[in-house]
Chain A
Amino acid sequence: MEKVFTIKKLNLKYGEKTALLDINMDIPKNEITALIGPSGCGKSTLLRTLNRMNDLIENCHVKGDIKYEGNDIFSKDFDVIDLRTNVGMVFQKPNPFPMSIFDNVAYGPRCQGVKDKKILQETVIQALKNAALYDEVRDRLKESAKELSGGQQQRLCIARAIAMRPDVILMDEPTSALDPIATAKIEDLILELKQKYTIVIVTHNMQQAARISDNTAFLLMGELIEYDKTDKIFSNPAKAKTEEYITGRFG
């Protein structure tokens, strides 16, 4: 199993409040890893730590190691911009920029200095195709992204992440604001994306975790209670707490 991230003894505090406690886990390449657990368990914090989004939060203190492709992401020499280029993120609520569909997807490559119109055109179209959105928007690339439906906006955000040519895509409850059909489309897309990218997804929907992920990590009050193959977690978890949570006995 090839690992993209190796997490060792990760501890994170917001001020005095412990959010993550001694987390040890590996994220395998080209697999979907789901982070589950009740609200406030630390799953979104863990996700955001993987591309150092927590750096933006005041009073956030991190201890321990996270290695991305063997490199320590907290070392002084490590380029955070590079990390965030390689490790893209999709949020709970679709957040298209107030610009055209085309410009939304082209935004990242332009920031990276791509100016050639032909290259930009190709990058945008390919990203939209990979995000299973191109066929629906091919005739209105110049229209505002705000005109798209919620599900289309979320796929646009995925296309925007893909346009940066990342290795990993982090998804923080990407379907929680979507209806069942839009959710199904995103789930199909996630399974498709697995061929090219490593995906880490935070979800409150346990059926979703069971349907799409290869590995599932269960967190509770900042601790990693259990981390195993998804089939094992949902059929015969090793820990009683995991079983109580996934069977809906608490949470």
Chain B
Amino acid sequence: MTYRTQFDSELDNLKLNLIRMSDLVIRNITDALHSFINMNSELAERIIKEDKLVNDFEYSIEKECMRIILREQPVAKDLRLITSVLKMITDLERIGDHAVDLSRLTVFMEKSEGNFNLPQIKLMIDVCEEMIRLALDSFVNKDINMAKEVIDKDDLVDDYFEEIKQLVVKAIKENNISADYSIYLMMAAKYLERIGDHAVNLAEWVIFSITGEHQ
């Protein structure tokens, strides 16, 4: 006979809410990245407005975690799950913030003069998107290997960031890019690099919830 059915259903509900929050953040970040690539300021404006929903999710999940800790006094795998969820929602919220940052950049860049296409930005965007999705999938499937894949992919994001930095510096020296545009590009690359770091954090908390070990 299995006991604590109410507790189990509360934990299931918590996981479901984390997945819902992740879905929203993934949608916002994907739209933000695409609005950035296509310079679609209308889409960018919507993302800025939707950030409140991400913040509301973080608040309500945090409250629910506190309530479960208080009422159920979880230990072992349950405590690890709740601790991980509490940490993951912070990273998800930060990724959501970066979606807003990128959207704001889109609005600025659309208005600014200049055009300087870097294929590395698109490649960086693709890796970041994949990292977030993989991190979420590793949580849903309790898959350590998938989580480790996320951590490994961060090197790629860091490499692209370095490459973009070098290319922007070169373009500045050669006078091929405006001052405004070069700053916006570097800011976008930095946001993407940070999104990669948050995806790594998500994966590390997934591993902690499964193994009890945090890197």
Instruction: List residues of chain A with CB under 8 Å of any chain B CB.
Output: 206-207, 210, 234-237, 242-243, 246-251
Q: For the complex, give the distance between the alpha carbons of A248 and B77 in Å.
A: 12
Q: For the complex, give the distance between the alpha carbons of A243 and B7 in Å.
A: 15
Assuming the A-B contacts A235-B212, A236-B212, are A251 and B3 also in contact, with contact meaning beta carbons closer than 8 angstroms in the complex? Answer: yes
Determine if B73 and A247 form an interchain contact, defined as CB atoms under 8 angstroms apart: no
Q: For the complex, give the distance between the alpha carbons of A249 and B212 in Å.
A: 19
Decide if B114 is an interface residue (CB 8 Å cutoff). no
Determine if A250 and B1 form an interchain contact, defined as CB atoms under 8 angstroms apart: yes
Determine if B76 and A237 form an interchain contact, defined as CB atoms under 8 angstroms apart: yes
The closest CB in chain A to the CB of B75 belongs to A234
Given A207-B73, A249-B2, A250-B2, output 14 extra A-B contacts at Cβ < 8 Å. A234-B75, A234-B76, A235-B75, A235-B79, A235-B212, A236-B80, A242-B76, A243-B76, A247-B4, A247-B75, A247-B77, A247-B78, A248-B4, A250-B1
Interface size on B, residues (CB 8 A): 16
Assuming the A-B contacts A206-B75, A247-B75, are A235 and B1 also in contact, with contact meaning beta carbons closer than 8 angstroms in the complex? Answer: no
CB distance from B100 to the nearest CB of A (A): 36
Determine if B4 and A210 form an interchain contact, defined as CB atoms under 8 angstroms apart: no
Tell me which of A236, A250, A251 has the highest count of chain B C-beta atoms within 10 A of its own C-beta: A236
**Complex contacts, A243 vs chain B, CB 8 Å:** 76-77
Specify which of A235, A242, A246, A249 is in contact with B3 (CB 8 Å cutoff).
A249
Assuming the A-B contacts A235-B212, A236-B212, are A247 and B2 also in contact, with contact meaning beta carbons closer than 8 angstroms in the complex? Answer: no
Determine if A246 and B1 form an interchain contact, defined as CB atoms under 8 angstroms apart: no
23 A–B pairs (Cβ distance < 8 Å), ordered by A:
A206-B75, A210-B75, A234-B75, A234-B79, A235-B75, A235-B79, A235-B212, A236-B76, A236-B80, A236-B211, A236-B212, A242-B76, A243-B76, A246-B75, A247-B4, A247-B74, A247-B78, A248-B3, A248-B7, A249-B4, A250-B1, A250-B2, A251-B3
